[in-house]
């Protein structure tokens, strides 16, 4: 089975379409979406419709849960809170129905998918210790699963129960070892948090055959970020919602812009 793995689309339609087009070119049997289809970006309904048309196995991310008042917004950043109210008013009834029906966790043959962690859609799994704890929990609760798909961090990640944290390759498939469990995070389709000149859409192709350990290939695809920036401007949303650069300098600049922005 070849899974096209998407996560953290965040209302960015050009990025989503670029990701889907590339995965269709590579060949996909089934689609997975690890949540956060909406919020931050200016095209939530369009992205929900595009995802729904794929007929994926899809779970709710924390941004869906907050937008639907199923989680409080107290963990949200100022940027997320600013976008939240706009998203709540922009969501159509069809989008709300689709998002409301999403589960928080999904289980398929050989894999389990959650947004933040197995227990908490708002938990960030970034370190080796956190990833190892997730795999131990996976073994206790889902003994037949060998892959845990997560989102939420906006950073691509591959961690093996024996091999540890692996350097992600964007040039070739990374094979799995027999008998080993893995955490796979495809990265964010719609809101890059990598240090790069132009934001890219990140996603993955996960192959889990019945007769072998399988592999994962990560992608970082160019897309028309100018189009989504214009849509953000038209919606009066922060234009850097598609690309939150890491680092202290970028963080200081964002805080200064916030203080200088009227209202």
pLDDT at residue 261 is higher than 70: no
Return the pLDDT at 247.
Answer: 60
Question: pTM for this structure?
Answer: 0.92
Q: Strand runs (DSSP E) across the chain, as ranges?
A: 2-6, 30-33, 57-58, 105-108, 111-114, 147-149, 157-160, 164-166, 174-175, 182-185, 201-207, 215-221
Q: How many Å apart are CA 218 and CA 166, to the nearest integer?
A: 12
Average pLDDT over residues 190-211: 94
Average pLDDT over residues 243-253: 59
Res. 228 pLDDT band, cuts 50 70 90: very high
Res. 258 pLDDT band, cuts 50 70 90: very low
Q: Strand runs (DSSP E) across 92-236, as ranges?
A: 105-108, 111-114, 147-149, 157-160, 164-166, 174-175, 182-185, 201-207, 215-221
| Percent of the chain at pLDDT exceeding 70 | 94
Residue 252, CA atoms < 13 Å, CB-side half-sphere: 3
Backbone Cα Rg of the chain? 18
Which contiguous run of DSSP H or E holds residue 131?
helix 128-141
Return the pLDDT at 140.
Answer: 97
Return the pLDDT at 254.
Answer: 40
Res. 259 pLDDT band, cuts 50 70 90: very low
């Amino acid at each position: 089975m070849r899974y096209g793995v998407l996560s953290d689309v965040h209302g960015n339609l050009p990025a989503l379409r670029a990701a889907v087009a590339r995965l269709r070119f590579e060949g996909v049997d089934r689609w997975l979406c690890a949540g956060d289809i909406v919020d931050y970006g200016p095209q939530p309904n369009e992205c929900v419709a595009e995802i729904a048309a794929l007929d994926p196995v899809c779970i709710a991310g924390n941004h869906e849960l907050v937008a639907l008042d199923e989680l409080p917004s107290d963990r949200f950043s100022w940027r997320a809170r600013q976008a939240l109210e706009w998203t709540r008013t922009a969501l159509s009834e069809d989008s709300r129905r689709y998002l409301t029906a999403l589960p928080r966790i999904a289980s398929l043959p050989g894999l389990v998918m959650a947004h933040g962690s197995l227990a908490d859609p708002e938990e960030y799994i970034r370190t080796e210790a956190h990833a190892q704890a997730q795999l131990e929990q996976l073994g206790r609760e889902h003994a037949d699963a060998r892959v845990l798909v997560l989102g939420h961090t906006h950073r691509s990640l591959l961690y093996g129960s024996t091999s540890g944290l692996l350097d992600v390759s964007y040039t070739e498939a990374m094979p799995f070892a027999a008998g080993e469990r893995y955490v796979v995070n495809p990265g964010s389709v719609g809101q890059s948090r990598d240090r790069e000149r132009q934001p890219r859409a990140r996603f993955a192709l996960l192959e889990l055959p019945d007769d072998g350990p399988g592999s994962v290939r990560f992608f970082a695809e160019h897309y028309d970020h100018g189009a989504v920036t214009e849509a953000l401007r038209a919606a009066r949303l922060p234009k850097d919602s598609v690309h939150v650069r890491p680092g202290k300098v970028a963080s200081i600049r964002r805080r200064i812009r916030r203080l200088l922005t009227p209202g």
